[in-house]
Amino acid sequence: MEIALTLLIIAAAAFAIRTIIKTNPAQPMALPPMPARPYQPALPEGPAALHWSDDGRYLVEVVTESRYLPALKELAGEHGDQAAAASYLATLVPDDANPYESAAVAVFLAGRMVGYLSPKASVAFREHLKRKEVEGQITTCDAQVRGGGKWQNGRLAYVVVLDMEPLER
């Protein structure tokens, strides 16, 4: 008797759930419209508050996206089959308006956006800014665009490296 009652309750619950699902089918959520152009911060005007240096070690790599490839290729200059090592002054901009990353730090070379510090490096970098009492201000460091050399019937990717103390440990 107890088993029959349990089976009856299970059947009634299954019928109720089926009825609810049939009468109230799930509606797909409307996605927000895609922006016409991907977000990109503007390079602020004015002098840098500080210049970073790690004595030419270039150990901090910038996170780039495919949309920056044309700029990187142009900034690398003509380098034939060898890898590029084009030097620039990088401008590091705390990007408080970034809709995707709350602690973003944008990197510009020759006035052109080339990528961001990694999220972990951005947090550490902002802590350095705070310690140096230049929080939220633009700073600079030396940089190089490297890569693009021929290797195994193809070309290596371009990367941007910064001459500043490593930010991720």
* pLDDT value of position 35: 65
User: Has residue 87 got a pLDDT over 90?
Assistant: yes
DSSP, collapsed to helix, strand or coil, labels residue 5 as helix
**What pLDDT digit, counting tens, does each position of 115-161 carry?**
999 999 999 999 999 999 999 999 999 999 999 898 888 888 899 99
Burial of 122 from C-beta contacts in 10 A (0-12 / 13-18 / 19+): buried
Band (pLDDT 50/70/90 cuts) for residue 25 is low
CA 115 to chain CA centroid, Å, is 7
The more confidently predicted of residues 110 and 169 is 110
- Which helix (H) or strand (E) segment holds residue 105: the answer is strand 105-109
Q: What is the greatest pairwise CA distance in the chain?
A: 87
Band (pLDDT 50/70/90 cuts) for residue 54 is very high
CATH numbers and ranges of domains, the chain: 51-162 (3.30.70)
The more confidently predicted of residues 1 and 99 is 99
**Tokens in use for 72?**
């990187």
The full DSSP string for 135-164 is TT--EEEEEEEEE--EETTEEPPEEEEESS
Phi, psi of 124 (to 5 degrees): -65, -40
Rounded mean pLDDT, 33-46: 81
The more confidently predicted of residues 16 and 115 is 115
Rounded mean pLDDT, 104-115: 96
Length of the chain counted residue by residue: 169
* pLDDT value of position 150: 86
* pLDDT value of position 26: 65
